[in-house]
Homo-oligomer: A and B are copies of this chain.
């Protein structure tokens, strides 16, 4: 075994970074045995050097991350700063200085993954990022490596713990969105500004990363259709229950039936209670992967949090250190299929639509005609009337999303339709 330690620069020392530092210290012997050489925390770049950081030698703290990367003895950099800058520049600086990188930065990888992978490859270095998607759940490695001999056709997952916590609360207590969000905030599951979570930006970044891995093609953040879950109401949950469903914010990545294109989307959807994703509670994440030979796989676990994310970071650290000792690199970006990403209108799915309609004869016929004119076939209709007002709940068969939204637009124009109370896609059947 090599006795000269591999030197690690930790960039960022927040919730995740401090856990990484802690585990590197408390489990140093295990890491040494598993890597085949000691690994040493050689510097910690932070913004606020005055903050007390328990268990970290103050001599390691610096505010000059660039100088840390350039000082010449660093083997691996762990980037747990998050956001685009300065993370992007620092990762690039690391590669330019012969330093492999482990990153937990989903936003950056979703936006600039291709350029960062190219930089890593140019310099013959590793860029690992298991922690960027679904926290502790091994997902990037299984998809990139375990399923490297298979063909992934579909990925459907709950990849945001905050929104799953909120939706689970709404489902189990009947609470409305705001009430459930307030509880999530009070318990620390939601940030003060929850936009990135509840509007689906966080999930969309993970969707872009996973789609790229699943289909061996480049999927940019802009390619991902995104709808948040702030409009999901207690009434939607009541409708879902009547259908034997619940509502989840899903990231769904699909290869088209002809194999010539892919789609990537994030939106709330009804899924049957019998689907394994329906029983994913609280802030847990779970991802369902359908591959040609392997069949249906599911990966489940904590999708966020300091220690779980640190677990994923350290698994990558061990791999990158092992690669370094073997003078090899792990798998880089695989984007050889160059499949186009189709727009949301091409996605084939089902709709659950609640309409407020006039309670008079002929309304159902008019509504049904509108669906037929747009080539959308109806699965079930439920009518419910009182006091001259009525509601109509329509569940469609599978149809292109464009046809479905065209139908809804036409329905809004009918004078017998007073309003469209809710529209939700139905998945997982």
Contacts and interface: CB of A to CB of B under 8 A. Distances in A.
Interface of A: 19, 23, 27, 30-31, 33-34, 130, 136-138, 141-142, 145-151, 216, 276, 279, 291-302, 305, 307-308, 310-319, 322-323, 326-329, 331, 334, 336-337
A143 to B, nearest CB: 8
A149 B328 contact: no
A295 B315 contact: no
Q: Which 4 A-B pairs have the closest CB atoms?
A: A149-B314, A138-B146, A138-B142, A136-B294
A301 B146 CA distance: 13
B307 A33 contact: no
Contacts of A147: 138, 311, 315
Nearest to A19: B293
Contact of A319 (B148, B301, B308): B148
Nearest to A140: B146
Contacts of A308: 293-295
Which of A145, A317, A327 is packed against the most chain B CB atoms within 10 Å? Answer: A145
Contacts of A148: 34, 314-315, 318-319
A294 B318 contact: no
Contacts of A300: 276, 297-300
Which of A130, A148, A314, A337 is packed against the most chain B CB atoms within 10 Å? Answer: A148
Nearest to A289: B301
A272 to B, nearest CB: 13
A329 B322 CA distance: 10
A138 B137 CA distance: 12
28 contacts: A27-B151, A31-B149, A33-B336, A34-B149, A34-B334, A130-B146, A136-B291, A136-B297, A138-B141, A138-B146, A141-B141, A141-B142, A141-B145, A142-B142, A145-B145, A145-B315, A148-B314, A148-B319, A149-B318, A150-B311, A279-B279, A293-B307, A295-B305, A296-B301, A296-B302, A297-B299, A298-B299, A326-B328
A141 B34 CA distance: 14
B295 A301 contact: yes
B326 A216 contact: no
Contacts of A322: 331
Which of A147, A310, A327 is packed against the most chain B CB atoms within 10 Å? Answer: A147
Which of A31, A33, A136, A317 is packed against the most chain B CB atoms within 10 Å? Answer: A136
Contacts of A334: 33-34
A300 B277 CA distance: 12
Contact of A216 (B33, B151, B279): B33
Contacts of A151: 27, 30
A73 to B, nearest CB: 22
A292 B336 CA distance: 38
A293 B318 contact: no
Given A146-B315, A314-B148, A294 B276 contact: no
A315 B149 contact: yes
Given A30-B151, A147-B138, A334-B34, A293 B279 contact: no
Nearest to A306: B293
Which of A146, A296, A297, A314 is packed against the most chain B CB atoms within 10 Å? Answer: A146
A218 to B, nearest CB: 14
A313 B149 CA distance: 8
Contacts of A336: 33
Contacts of A310: 149, 293
Given A136-B293, A291-B311, A326-B326, A145 B298 contact: no
Nearest to A136: B294
